[in-house]
Copies of this chain bind each other. A is one copy, B any other.
Amino acid sequence: MTTLQILQEAQTARRALLRTGSKQKDAALHAIADRLWADRERILAANALDMDAARGHISEVMLDRLALTEERIAAMADGVRQVAALPDPVGRTLRTVERPNGMVIRRVSVPMGVVAIIYESRPNVTSDAAALALKSGNVCVLRGGKEAFRSANAIVESLREGLVQAGLPREAVSLVQDTTRQSANELMRAVGLVDLLIPRGGAGLIRSCVENALVPCIQTGTGICHVYVDKDADLEMALDIVENAKTSRPSVCNAEEVCLVHRDITERFLPLLRKRLVEDRAAGGLQPVELRLDKRAAAVISGVPAGEADFDTEFLDYVLAVGVVDSPEAAAEHIASHSTGHSDCIVTGCRETAESFIALVDSAAVYWNVSTRFTDGGEFGLGCEMGISTQKLHARGPMGLEELCSYKYVITGNGQTR
């Protein structure tokens, strides 16, 4: 089936979902979870074929992302059940106004319609994304990476059986059958057929979507996150936050890439920073962090001299750029020029400084004395997440179920005219 045919079928399913209530959606999600587990052997067999084909062609890290196990399938099914347990985001009255002429205007949450998701090699995104879309009343058109195609196809088969079991159209979830660049382009340009496009993947994919999409698109992901250590910081707290933000999981978008330090505390703080991130970690058998120092930092401690690009790079590794700034305002100014608007942090004991920093830093998440690693749907209490938006239109930060909805105005009266 061509991508266009899939999108046309999605339109019919979209209208069916408009009539579907919470109970039926949750029943479908439970049926899907049961089917995923019941079908685990079939899914694992498909995954084994993907793994065989990929071995030798992609890195070990990528292979690990691609691999499914019984445990991972159980986790997928569990994730779907957790989505079922969340409150229904659709049909909420967000605001009610009665106008002087007696008409009542309600703003009501509604599904976006058809949500297309372009993702890469993690098979579990298939069921995660489909569950979030279904719970929010959206039809979901998935376009995964070619390495994971057989796995994704096997998973979608289970999803569709669950849908049908609950009396919903199987076309509410589809997998694009073409994994070439062409199908991604078709989704980006399907004006009138795709209501929202969400790319989940590396910087290249996201850039391509932003540049080529004619349909509404959410820019997710890349994070050049900063921690600014102010002169009024509790230095122990600063070390804890910097180490956690940098090293607890360096490969994710909410990890710290740049540490900015107030000039008044460089002599005290930088040696402690070096000790904590380099020496203590090496002594404890942990991977030490490579520090890339601007000139002023390099005058105080030893490390690699920072190159031109080091303050604009998402390392996703045990590497940290370290720079010295003259003031909180200068830190905010640096962040305005170099941040991707994902997550940025100030460590300070001074409320005034913190409030001014928070006002000036225009990022999705601005932290005061908390690690940047908390920018995550689960950690924010949303229960789940479709990605982290770094744009300002529609949704910002972790996108949960509410962010997969739009709204409409419903106006009722008894013959009002103007």
* A interface residues, Cβ below 8 angstroms from B: 15, 18-19, 97, 99, 103, 105, 110, 112-113, 191, 195-196, 210-211, 214, 216, 234, 237, 240-241, 243-245, 248, 336, 354, 358-360, 362-371, 373-375, 379-381, 391-394, 396-397, 406-418
Contact = CB atoms under 8 A, between A and B. Distances in A.
Contact of A360 (B15, B392, B396): B15
A237 B415 CA distance: 6
7 contacts: A105-B380, A195-B393, A216-B392, A244-B417, A368-B411, A397-B408, A397-B409
Q: Which of A210, A374, A411 has the most CB of B within 10 A?
A: A411
A19 B418 CA distance: 41
Number of copies: 2
Contact of A366 (B373, B394, B411): B411
Contacts of A365: 408-411
B195 A418 contact: no
Q: Which of A354, A381, A392 has the most CB of B within 10 A?
A: A392
B18 A362 contact: yes
A355 to B, nearest CB: 10
A362 B410 CA distance: 10
A417 B15 contact: no
A364 B411 contact: no
Given A396-B408, A409-B380, A411-B368, A418 B374 contact: yes
A380 B410 CA distance: 11
Contacts of A408: 362-366, 396-397
Given A392-B196, A406-B393, A110 B362 contact: yes
Contacts of A414: 237, 369
By secondary structure, the A interface counts as mixed
A107 B19 CA distance: 32
A18 B360 contact: yes
A403 to B, nearest CB: 10
Contacts of A105: 380-381
Contacts of A243: 417
B103 A417 contact: no
Contacts of A195: 392-393
Contacts of A366: 408-411
B394 A394 contact: yes
Contacts of A391: 216
Contacts of A210: 191, 214
B393 A19 contact: no
B240 A113 contact: no
B214 A418 contact: no
A397 B15 CA distance: 21
B373 A417 contact: yes
A408 B392 CA distance: 9
Nearest to A351: B412
A189 to B, nearest CB: 10
Contacts of A397: 408-409
Contacts of A392: 112-113, 195-196, 216, 406
A359 B234 contact: no
Contacts of A407: 396
Contacts of A245: 417
Contact of A417 (B241, B359, B375): B241
B196 A370 contact: no
Contacts of A362: 18, 110, 113, 408
